[in-house]
Amino acid sequence: MGSGRIFPPVIDKDNTQSGVYMSFISTKSNGLVSVEDLAVKELAQKYGTPLYIYSKAQLEEHLNAYNAASSDVEHLVCYAVKANSNIAILQLMASLGTGFDIVSGGELARVIEAGGDPKKVVYSGVAKTFSEIEYALDQQILCFNVESPAELERINSIAISKKVKAPISIRVNPDVDAGTHPYISTGLKNNKFGVPVETAFELYKHAATLEGVKVIGIDCHIGSQLTSLTPFVDALDRILALVDRLAAEGIQLEHIDIGGGLGVVYKDEVPPAVSDYLKVVKSKLAGRKLKLICEPGRSMVANAGVLVTRCEYLKQGEVCNFCIVDAAMNDMIRPSLYSAWMRIEEADHNLDRPENVYNVVGPICETGDFLGKERSLKVQEGDFLVMHGAGAYGFAMSSNYNSRPRAAELMVEGGKVHVIRDRESVSDLWRNEHKL
């Protein structure tokens, strides 16, 4: 029982389509789920649970897939920081020359602290504040992805006051249904993101007249966890029609930012390979002198990480059985928030246990606190379970709800382990609070 089908085929080291995905998170012949060369069970025993563990080699392989598939065109991979903002992961990305897609001033500060280059940062987000825009201008970021006419005017005003020109693109909403969960769809008319494609042309013309901005690109992101190329192609066709119309008006763009959103395998999804996705994109861009920017997040980190939890109790109910674990919705909210299915398995498959069907639930005082339902598991109290696909939107969305300290995070590099976030202590819970 391995995890070799958790990501589409990637480009091998010879830049040919290998069709074989190298998984660095798998079940070894000894029955132990391992991250690279280290058994998850042993790491959990040493560092405690709940515990996030990431594979350095897996992160590098996912990034290499994007770079290899774009190697024949001018491009920049901008990792979407919101997927997992641990500073060690950002440091790794920066060391490999990656750019960053950010959505807050705090994310920009993280990128800089990690050694990232602000000149490789694109700034998305619908509610950029005055101070965030000023900070980003001071750091000389690559580009603001403008999400509204009001934001354009604010950026222009601040840039004029600073006697600089703000580099901008406009995030265009193409009104394309990504066919994904409504909470992670961003390209429809009823979504809060971007400027409608019907009005974007006039906004570009207006932007070109402003003293404080320089129009350099166009941006589009239609949603997350996409498993078909059709929505990407539909959106790209509409965006490129606008690019050509702008060129005819004398507004020549330097880059096109196609966003992110490429899906990963949690269960039985069949997302496109990175190489197939970018091959289609490049064919559409042929003949246009546009630098290609993409913003992968989930597809970079999701299946490079696991969440490890300990079974505290087994409880028999009249309708279903419960495996009560020490991880909860405050550690991993995706199942509760998105009804997301994530694979859960035993950390040690050699243990002689009776198999039963359980709802895997946590200690939070909410009925919605579950990690998985109707899972067949061979588990007893004290055993460790592994939740796969936990590298994206796991720790990044965690909280202290129910006054629970947040989990520790580890990075595995071969047979070496790096503690990249200490487990919070109980006293950390009120560290920034004050008594009357």
Q: How far apart are CA 295 and CA 102, in angstroms?
A: 10
What is the phi/psi pair of residue 24, to 5°?
Answer: -100, 5
| Residue 334 assigned to a binding site | yes
The answer to whether 406 is a known ligand-binding residue is no
Pairing mode, strands 255-257 and 213-219? parallel
261 is in an annotated binding site: yes
- Residue whose tokens read 């197939």: 276
Name the one residue in this structure whose structure tokens are 């354009």.
152
The response to whether 125 counts as a known ligand-binding position is no
Residue 424, annotated ligand binder? no
**3-class DSSP state of 244:** helix
What's the sign of the alpha-carbon dihedral 374, 377, 380, 383? negative
159: closest CA among 141, 186, 182, 177? Answer: 141
Q: Answer yes or no: is 50 a known binding residue.
A: no
Nearest-angstrom CA–CA distance, 285 and 232: 13
Q: What is the dihedral of CA 237, 82, 303, 48, to 10 degrees?
A: -170
Do 346 and 356 meet the contact criterion of CB atoms below 8 Å apart?
Answer: no
> Which residues on neighbouring strands pair with residue 22, listed in sequence order?
none
Q: Which of 220, 311, 320, 365 is catalytic?
A: 365
Does 298 show up as a binding residue in the annotation?
yes
The structure tokens listed for 160 are 């004029």
Catalytic (active site) residue 365: yes
Helix (H) / strand (E) element for 95: namely: helix 87-95
285: tokens are: 């861009």
Can you say which residues are annotated as belonging to the binding site? 261, 295-298, 334, 338, 366, 393
Which positions make up the binding site for substrate? 298, 334, 338, 366, 393
Q: Which residue positions form the known binding site for pyridoxal 5'-phosphate?
A: 261, 295-298, 393
**Catalytically annotated residues:** 365
